[in-house]
Amino acid sequence: MSEAKSSARESFDAIVVGSGLGGLCTAAYLCASGRRTLVLEGHYIAGGNSQVFRRKHGGREFEFDVGIHYIGECGRDGSITAVLNGVGLAERVIFRPLDSDGYSNLHLPDFSFRIPFGWDRYRARLLETFPGEHAGLTPVLDVMQGVAEASHRLGRGELDFADMADESPIFLQWGLRPVTELFAEHRISDRAATVLLGEQGCYAVRPSETPVVMAAGLTDHFLRGAYYPVGGGQVIAARLVEAIRAYGGEVRTQCPVQRIRVEKGRVLGVVAGKKNQRPMEIDAPVVVSGADLKRTFSELVGEEHWAPESLERVRSLEMAVPLFCAYLMLDVDLADLGMTNSNHFILGDYDLEGIYDELDRGEISSKAMCYLTAASLKDPASRNIAPAGYTNLQIMTLVPRSYDVWGVERGPAEGGRYHRDPEYRKRKNALMDQLIQSSEQLIPDLRKHIVWKEAATPVSQERFTHSTGGTSYGVEMSCSQVGPMRVGPRTEIEGLFLCGASTPSGPGISGVMRGGVATAAEVLETDLLKPILAGEVFGDRSALPELREDWDAWRESH
């Protein structure tokens, strides 16, 4: 059901605001546990940052990912596999591994580095690349691997903070300290440090504010295996929508929430509907907000319902650096040019800290990360992604938080108009051309093969997700804002819970899905993680619809 109902007053056991993967996971587990749950989404398609969009050119259709480009924890023992299995979906979402000898390729000013699966192979390749730095790299890698292992066990409930002193003293010593302090203590070179942080665009935090647990955790996440979902990025959201509906819940798109109703310190439900429609009140004793954290506090709930210290805490939180993305259709299959199913990061400078200085000054850096990904290489058999003989290519980079850089004074969430503004389009096209030029060092004559192109700025991101500052990553995962320093999932308002990238589980597909489980567990007041990891399936799997050959994830998510 896509349109808001206009019938009599409705009541649910729970309402989830927003259909990102965190909200969908929360709703799926609530429904599977017997709570009739309604998911409300303002956009025309469910999935939040995991959604895709489609374009046609010359009678051919392409599908582009918004946020799923490569993910970890999808192997037999992975947390994403376990979370999907817990609602009966493990066999319905298939993951294809990336190139195990180089799932990501780092292209630096004077050399390249291929990141393989596995800590042992990664360590050996680093020591081979930097033969004069064994004395420094060895203890750095020991710390990173030790912190990552403790973090992994902590996330799976196999280790408690109270046990850290005995089980992993290295985590207590280094986990929350800046990774640059670790590098400085062991005097590794800027070249080696840049390789170790080569994929830092996946969380977008300046090195001097990146906790070791974040840097090490991301590395560990992909060294355990990097994957892409067969059928495209929309598949995960579509299958979760399928489970929600099969287990008695509802997902309604094009039905934005205007306000979360709170009275005398407790949730009563929501007011929903488009601005040009008659608003409707929907009752529920539980509301879970997967919407932007700052807008949840200030707009959806209202500042009058929060303690002053809660408001001040949320106001003080820094949002992550946003992204810019160019979407290209190519009339050539990059596999024919020798490219494999892996990622490419072009890093124009070893001074990553200086790049963030430029971004914080509101400058678009020509030396910032340039990330290339082609879903049609990662899933070549899915014709909805790209027709045979064609490629869909995405090129991304980090950009400043300020909308001044785009010539925009007011964001779309506040009613600002920008899309047709000549200055906005000029600046957007200039950066897109810059990224295409940078990418030609990997794909010669790239420009000649482009048959269609468009780009998305942080302003676009805000338009579709209402995220503060147009970031994809929520609250920045810096040393002062990581783990227990984050907000949620339980709030001071009775019946109101939070999920999504700004909660303690953090950003990324694995982070928000685990966070969705954590939020559902808080609502249900039970431990879900241990039974999920043990293989327990909630809900009646026989209620799921039969698999169909003509099943279309994009259409099923409407």
The model's pLDDT over 245-271, given as tens digits with 9 standing for 90+, comes to 999 999 999 999 999 999 999 999 999
165 and 302 part of one domain:
no
- For β-strands 323-330 and 250-252, DSSP reports them as unpaired
- Residue 61 falls within a domain, yes or no? no
Are 363 and 355 in contact by the 8 Å Cβ rule? The answer is no
300 and 346 part of one domain:
no
265 and 344 part of one domain:
no
305 and 416 part of one domain:
no
Write down the pLDDT at residue 276: 79
Query: pLDDT, tens digit, for every residue of 484-498?
Result: 889 989 999 999 999
What are the φ and ψ backbone dihedral angles of 451, each rounded to 5 degrees?
-105, -10
Residue 241: which of 500, 535, 549, 558 has the closest Cα? 558
- Residue 5 falls within a domain, yes or no? no
Q: What DSSP designation does 13 have? A: S
Among 223, 246, 266, residue at a domain's last position = 223
Query: pLDDT, tens digit, for every residue of 103-151?
Result: 999 999 999 999 999 999 999 999 999 999 999 999 999 999 999 999 9
173 and 267 part of one domain:
no
The pLDDT mean for the chain works out to 94
Distances (CA, A) of 467 to 20, 295, 300, 324: 12, 8, 13, 14
Query: pLDDT, tens digit, for every residue of 372-414?
Result: 999 999 999 998 999 999 999 999 999 999 888 999 888 777 7
Residue 87: which of 445, 544, 552 has the closest Cα? 544
- In sequence order, the 6+-apart residues with CB closer than 8 A to the CB of 548 are none
pLDDT band at 155 (very low <50, low <70, confident <90, very high): confident
Among 468, 487, 515, residue at a domain's last position = 468
352 and 444 part of one domain:
yes
Residue 27: which of 187, 258, 249 has the closest Cα? 249
Tokens standing for residue 101: 């000898």
DSSP 130-144: -GGGHHHHHHHHHHH
What whole-number distance in Å separates Cα of residue 433 and Cα of residue 453? 10
- Residue 108 falls within a domain, yes or no? no
351 and 305 part of one domain:
no
- Residue 4 falls within a domain, yes or no? no
455 and 358 part of one domain:
yes
Query: pLDDT, tens digit, for every residue of 427-479?
Result: 999 999 999 999 999 999 999 999 999 999 999 999 889 999 999 999 999 99
pLDDT band at 163 (very low <50, low <70, confident <90, very high): confident
325 and 432 part of one domain:
yes
Residue 523: which of 9, 14, 6 has the closest Cα? 14
- Residue 63 falls within a domain, yes or no? no
Count of the separate structural domains present in the chain:
3
- Residue 462 falls within a domain, yes or no? yes
Q: Which residues, in sequence order, are bridge partners of residue 549?
A: none
| Residue given tokens 């996971």 in the structure block | 25
Write down the pLDDT at residue 513: 97
- Residue 97 falls within a domain, yes or no? no
DSSP 382-410: -TTT--TT-EEEEEEEE--S-GGGGT-SS
Distances (CA, A) of 501 to 49, 288, 489, 538: 10, 14, 11, 24
Write down the pLDDT at residue 5: 44
Tokens standing for residue 82: 């376990």
pLDDT band at 7 (very low <50, low <70, confident <90, very high): low
- Residue 502 falls within a domain, yes or no? yes
Query: Which has the higher per-residue pLDDT, 275 or 442?
Result: 442
Domain that holds residue 186: 117-223
Distances (CA, A) of 189 to 109, 133, 175, 205, 210: 14, 8, 21, 20, 18
| Residue given tokens 């938080």 in the structure block | 401
342 and 304 part of one domain:
no
Write down the pLDDT at residue 419: 75
Write down the pLDDT at residue 495: 98
203 and 263 part of one domain:
no
What whole-number distance in Å separates Cα of residue 485 and Cα of residue 487? 7
The domain that holds 46 is classified in CATH as: 3.50.50.60
Distances (CA, A) of 487 to 154, 268, 341, 467, 506: 18, 22, 37, 16, 10
Write down the pLDDT at residue 2: 45
Among 436, 468, 500, residue at a domain's last position = 468
345 and 440 part of one domain:
yes
